[in-house]
Structures are given as structure tokens and as C-alpha cells.
């Protein structure tokens, strides 16, 4: 074999037969690595449930980058503001959780007569529509903005709770799992069999129903924001905060004698809260408030034994390290 037949690097390091031996050794090493990777892949996927959806959150969080545009103060149209918010949406720790259940802590206050009736819910929902609801009745307040101890963990644990178990299909959203992350496809899925000319209020209500019962990862949150961006009549009211004091961006939609106000987190794009105001009188009168206080994914709710929930309140559980609480300092 002539030296010219060898590649320059191999020829300079291992002349003669030693160069051939190195090629053989490298080829064997590559084959071994490929074989080992195949075995590991089989081990990882062997226990996977073929009926369990692969969540878009399976991708690991990417490093946070400074936003290119300040969506709170920049001179943007509502459409561009929401599209930009979707493009710049940051990861939260729960986005990397692959638990089978969406777990949400939601509070709802609504005027009933002369008082505001309030409920605190821990919800668990699986992709097949099965799940549990652990509900507490909070003390009545003078108005829907009165928290009445609703964010005090100790007070909540001491409040009697009822547990309802839902069979598969009972919590069905009539949407594909995982959700489409293309805005046009998601809008079609949200509209379902309704005519394309359905008003903005209907589509917004469908989005809020989704946020109320299902964890949305980064890609899904971005798709929701892009659907909102094309919602006729939606207005930007500027930076604000919800009744729990969490900072965000406020958007409003007015129609049929009422106005819906959304509070959206500036960094993550999460819909933190919304409230409905009556526009019948001279001044807007809040009549309903919904707060999504916490959200994540878990493999199984804490306290579940042989497929049944306990009758006593349970704390929020975590499926991954770190908190899924959204940072809310500043706007």
C-alpha cells in the first residue's frame, strides 16, 4: 500500500498496517455505540403506554433569553402584541413534566344575590377525560374581589372538602390530545362544529374553559396567544394585576352587556386570571373572578390509593424538581 492511498491524518500518525487497524477499531467502536443506543432506546420506551399522548412539553426547557420586545409598553397593535408575546413566551419548570394528569389549583368567585360565593378547587384531568375534583367552599365575601382567606394554605387545609371522581370521557374537552400548536388548526378545533362566523365571545369562552381544566405547555400557550391575537374586538388595557396581586398584561373583550378582562403573564404567556364585568350600569360591576393559582403535571395525585382519592384535602404535588409557580414580580 502506498502512503498516498491513505488519508493525510492517518498516514502521518500510523503508517503501514497500523493505519488499517485503526480504521477497523474505529468502525467497531461506532457499531458498538449504535448498538448500545438501540438497547437504551428499547429500555426507555418499553414501559411507555401506547395510549398515552406524547406531550409537547417533552422537549427540555431552553435557556431563557432577554426578550427582544417589551410587550408591556411597546407601541404595538393588539394582534402584534399577542403574537410577540407568544413568540417570546418563556419556559416554566412544569413544561418539562411528563405526568399523565393536568393538575390545577383554581378559585372562582361569583355574585349570588348580595354576596360573593367562592370555591377553591384542586383538579386532576387525564387525556381520556377521567379525573378528580377536590372542592372547598370558601367563606362568602362582600364582592368577587375579596379573597376571604382563599390563598392561605393553612386555612384551606382546615376547610372541609368534597371529592368527586370522574370516569373517562366525563371531562372531555372535545379537542385532540396533545393540542394543535398551529394557531389555525387550534382555532378550528376550538370552534368544532360551530359555524366559522361564531362571535369572539364564544371562542374566548372555549379558550378559558381549556385553561381552567388543562395544563398548557409553552408551545400550547403560544398557540393560544396567537388565536387570541386574531380575535376581533380584543383590546389591550396595559399592565395591571389580578385580585391576587399578580402582575400581568390586561386584555379586554366587550359584548352583550359584559366585559371579560384577561390577565396574562408577560414572560411566560400564561393566562393567570380573568374576570367578567357587567356593563349594564353606569360603572363596570365585577360579577365573576377566576384565578388559576397553580398548574403542573403529575403522574398521580397525592393520596390516591387503589384508584380512589382521599376525603380530606391534599396539598399540591409536583412531578418534577422546582416549583411550577409562575414568577410574578414586576411587569
More confident of the two residues 78 and 56: 78
Q: Could you give the count of Cα atoms lying within 13 Å of 224 in the half-sphere of its Cβ?
A: 24
Most confident of 2-6, 45-49, 138-142: 138-142
Question: C-alpha cell of 256?
Answer: 352583550
For 233-261, the pLDDT digits (tens) are 999 999 999 988 999 999 999 987 889 99
Q: Are 147 and 243 in contact (CB under 8 A)?
A: yes
SS3 assignment, position 190: helix
Q: Given this model, what pLDDT does residue 176 score?
A: 85
DSSP secondary structure letters along 121-190: EEEEEETTS-EEEEEEEEEEESSTT--TTTT-HHHHHTS-EEEEEE-TTTT--SS-SSPP-SHHHHHHHH
Q: What is the mean pLDDT of the chain?
A: 76
- Packing angle, helices 218-229 and 183-191, rounded to 10: 80
- Packing angle, helices 218-229 and 200-213, rounded to 10: 170
> How many Å apart are CA 140 and CA 137, to the nearest integer?
9
Region of 148 (left: φ > 0; alpha: ψ -120 to 50; beta: rest) is: left
pLDDT band at 26; cut points 50, 70, 90: very low
Per cent of the chain over pLDDT 70 is 67
Question: C-alpha cell of 302?
Answer: 397525592
Distance of CA 172 to the CA centre of its chain: 17
No. of helices (H) and no. of strands (E), the chain: 7, 9
For 148-180, the pLDDT digits (tens) are 666 676 777 778 888 999 999 999 888 888 899
Strand partners, 327: none
Most confident of 39-43, 94-98, 237-241: 237-241
Question: C-alpha cell of 290?
Answer: 377566576
| Strands 115-126, 101-112: pairing kind | antiparallel
SS3 assignment, position 35: helix
User: With 50 as the cut, is the pLDDT of residue 82 above it?
Assistant: yes
User: With 50 as the cut, is the pLDDT of residue 186 above it?
Assistant: yes
> How many Å apart are CA 204 and CA 116, to the nearest integer?
24
CA-only gyration radius of the chain, Å? 26
**How many other C-beta atoms are found inside a 10 Å radius of the C-beta of residue 113?**
7
Q: Residue 66, class by beta-carbon neighbours within 10 Å (0-12 exposed, 13-18 middle, 19+ buried)?
A: exposed
For 261-320, the pLDDT digits (tens) are 999 999 999 999 999 988 877 777 788 999 999 999 998 876 665 556 665 555 556 555
Q: Are 136 and 109 in contact (CB under 8 A)?
A: no
Strand partners, 197: none
Q: What is the pTM of this model?
A: 0.76
Amino acid at each position: 500500500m502506498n502512503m498516498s492511498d491513505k488519508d493525510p491524518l492517518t498516514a502521518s500518525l500510523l503508517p503501514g498496517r497500523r493505519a488499517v487497524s485503526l480504521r477497523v477499531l474505529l468502525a467497531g467502536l461506532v457499531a458498538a455505540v449504535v448498538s448500545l443506543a438501540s438497547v437504551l432506546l428499547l429500555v426507555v420506551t418499553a414501559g411507555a403506554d401506547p395510549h398515552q399522548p406524547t406531550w409537547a412539553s417533552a422537549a427540555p426547557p431552553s435557556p431563557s433569553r432577554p426578550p427582544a420586545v417589551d410587550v408591556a409598553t411597546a407601541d404595538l397593535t393588539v394582534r402584534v402584541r399577542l403574537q410577540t408575546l407568544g413568540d417570546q413566551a418563556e419556559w416554566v419548570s412544569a413544561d418539562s413534566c411528563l405526568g399523565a394528569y393536568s393538575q390545577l389549583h383554581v378559585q372562582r368567585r361569583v355574585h349570588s344575590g348580595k354576596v360573593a360565593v367562592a370555591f377553591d378547587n384542586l383538579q386532576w384531568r387525564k387525556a381520556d377525560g377521567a379525573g378528580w375534583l377536590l372542592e372547598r367552599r370558601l367563606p362568602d365575601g362582600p364582592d368577587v374581589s375579596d379573597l376571604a382567606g382563599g390563598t392561605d394554605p393553612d386555612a384551606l387545609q382546615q376547610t372541609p372538602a368534597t371529592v368527586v371522581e370522574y370516569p373517562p370521557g366525563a371531562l372531555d374537552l372535545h379537542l385532540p390530545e396533545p393540542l394543535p400548536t398551529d394557531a389555525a388548526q387550534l382555532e378550528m378545533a376550538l370552534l368544532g362544529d360551530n359555524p366559522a362566523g361564531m362571535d369572539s365571545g364564544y371562542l374566548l369562552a372555549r379558550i378559558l374553559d381549556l385553561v381552567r381544566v388543562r395544563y398548557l405547555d409553552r408551545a400550547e400557550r403560544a398557540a393560544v396567544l396567537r388565536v387570541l391575537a386574531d380575535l376581533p374586538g380584543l383590546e389591550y388595557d396595559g399592565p395591571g394585576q389580578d385580585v391576587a396581586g399578580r402582575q400581568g398584561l390586561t386584555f379586554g373583550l366587550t359584548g352583550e352587556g359584559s366585559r371579560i378582562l384577561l390577565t396574562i403573564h408577560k414572560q411566560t404567556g400564561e393566562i393567570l386570571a380573568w374576570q367578567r364585568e357587567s356593563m349594564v350600569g353606569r360603572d363596570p360591576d365585577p360579577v365573576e373572578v377566576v384565578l388559576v393559582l397553580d398548574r403542573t403535571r403529575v403522574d398521580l395525585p397525592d393520596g390516591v390509593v387503589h384508584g380512589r382519592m382521599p376525603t380530606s384535602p391534599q396539598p399540591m404535588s409536583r412531578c418534577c424538581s422546582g416549583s411550577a409557580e409562575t414568577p410574578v414580580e414586576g411587569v
